[in-house]
Amino acid sequence: MLRRDRSVFTDDFKVMSDDTSIPIDISFVYSGILKDEGESFCHGSVIDGYFHGSIQTRNGTFYIEYEKHDNGTVESYIYHEKDIDYSLMKDVKSFELSLKKYEFLERMKWNSKEESVTRTKRSVDMSRTTCLMQLKADYLFFKRFRNLQEAISQIAGYMRSVNAIYDQVNFNGIKHINFKVKVLNIIQEKQPDNAMNSAYIGPEKLLMLHSSYNYNNVCLSYLLTNRDYNGVLGVAWTGKEGNNGGICSMFSKLKDAPGTEGSLNTGIVTIQKYGQYLPPRLIHITLAHEIGHSLGSPVR
C-alpha cells in the first residue's frame, strides 16, 4: 500500500536546471507498508510503471532496482541487504586517502574573524530539528541516471534513508534530527566554461569549487557527483565548537587567499568507487557519514 510522499522536500521546494527554475511534478515518490505486515516500511519511486526503492520487512531490508538498456528493454532485480558488499566501505587505503583530504581542508579553513561574523555560543532551541539543504547534482551524476525524474527519485531515496539513520540519534537531548531539500540544482549538460566541468578534479578541489558559492539560505549544501576518487567517497568541512565550519557556517573570507570568499557548510559525495557504481545503501551511508562531519563528528 503506497501513498505519495514528499516529506524529504520543503513546501517551497524548487528544482533548478542550469540556474533556471523549472516546474516538475514529484508525485512519483512514494512510501508505504506491506499489506500483510504492519511493521514494514517501503520507500521509492514509480517511473514508467517500474518501482525502485527499498522495503523493510521482518526478514530484513530488500532493495529493488531496474536498469534501462539502450535497446529499450528493462531489467528489474531485487536483493537483500546481506547481499551488499560492505567491504567497499572498509578499505584501509581509502581511509588513509580520506584522512589526507581532511588534513588538507583543515589547513585551508576559512577565517571570518576579521569580519566579526564568527559564530557565538547560544542557547539551543530543542524543538528546531529540521535542517534545510541545497543539493547540486553535476552533469556526471545526471548522465548516470539520464533524466530529471530518475535523478530526483535517487536523491529522494538518499534523503529518506539519511533521515532514518539520524532519527535514531540522540544529540545530547536533541532527537529526531531530519533533513529537507529546499533547492535541488541539476546540471543536465556539460558546461565547458565551468571550472567544475573536468572529470579529473580531485575531491578537495571540487569541494573548494562547490564552496565558492553563497549558501547562507540553507543549513547545508552538498554536491553529488559520479567520479572515481581512488576510493574516497566524500569529503566535507568539519564542524567544530567555536570554529567557522560545518552546518550553518556563513559565507566568509578564505584564510590564505585574500579577497576570496566561500561557504563551509558544504560537502561532496560521489556514487562510484574504483570505477564501480555503488549500491544505493552504500551511498546512503556515505552521505550520512559526511553530514555527520558537517554536524561536528571528528575525522578518525
Which pLDDT belongs to residue 121? 45
Query: Among 28-37, 81-90, 264-273, whose mean pLDDT is lowest?
Result: 81-90
In this structure, the strands spanning 234-236 and 266-270 are antiparallel
The answer, yes or no, to whether residue 126 has pLDDT greater than 90, is: no
Neighbours of 122 (CB within 10 A): 6
User: Hey, what's the cell of 296?
Assistant: 561536528
**284-299: pLDDT as tens digits:** 999 999 999 898 887 6
Are 211 and 241 in contact by the 8 Å Cβ rule? The answer is: no
CA–CA separation, 155 and 165 (whole Å): 15
Are 115 and 202 in contact by the 8 Å Cβ rule? The answer is: no
Average pLDDT on 100-124 reads: 48
Q: Tell me the average pLDDT of the chain.
A: 86
**180-221: pLDDT as tens digits:** 999 999 999 988 888 888 878 999 999 999 999 999 999 999
CA–CA separation, 5 and 291 (whole Å): 23
User: Hey, what's the cell of 16?
Assistant: 533548478
Which pLDDT belongs to residue 120? 43
Which pLDDT belongs to residue 238? 86
**63-96: pLDDT as tens digits:** 999 988 888 889 999 999 999 998 877 765 554 4
Which pLDDT belongs to residue 87? 82
Query: Among 13-27, 96-110, 261-275, whose mean pLDDT is lowest?
Result: 96-110
Domain 86-294 in CATH 3.10.25.10: no
The answer, yes or no, to whether residue 102 has pLDDT greater than 60, is: no
Instruction: Name which residue leads in pLDDT, 296 or 143.
Output: 143
User: Which amino acids are annotated catalytic?
Assistant: 290
- CA angle 15/16/21 to nearest 5° reads 90
The answer, yes or no, to whether residue 112 has pLDDT greater than 50, is: no
Query: Among 80-94, 113-127, 129-143, 235-249, whose mean pLDDT is lowest?
Result: 113-127
Percent of the chain with pLDDT over 90: 58
Q: What residue spans define the domains of the chain?
A: 2-9+24-83, 86-294
Which pLDDT belongs to residue 245? 80
The answer, yes or no, to whether residue 115 has pLDDT greater than 50, is: no
Average pLDDT on 154-175 reads: 89
The answer, yes or no, to whether residue 160 has pLDDT greater than 80, is: yes
How much is the pTM?
Answer: 0.88
In this structure, the strands spanning 130-137 and 220-225 are parallel
Which pLDDT belongs to residue 230? 85
Average pLDDT on 26-35 reads: 96
Percent of the chain with pLDDT over 70: 84
Report the residue count for the chain. Answer: 300
Please spell the DSSP secondary structure of 117-167, one letter per residue: ---------TT--EEEEEEEE-HHHHHHH-SHHHHHHHHHHHHHHHHHHHT
Which pLDDT belongs to residue 117? 40
Strands (E), 9-123: 9-17, 20-22, 29-34, 37-47, 50-57, 60-68, 74-80
Instruction: Name which residue leads in pLDDT, 253 or 159.
Output: 159
Cell 573570507 belongs to residue:
253
pLDDT confidence bin for 260, thresholds 50/70/90: confident
Are 289 and 234 in contact by the 8 Å Cβ rule? The answer is: yes
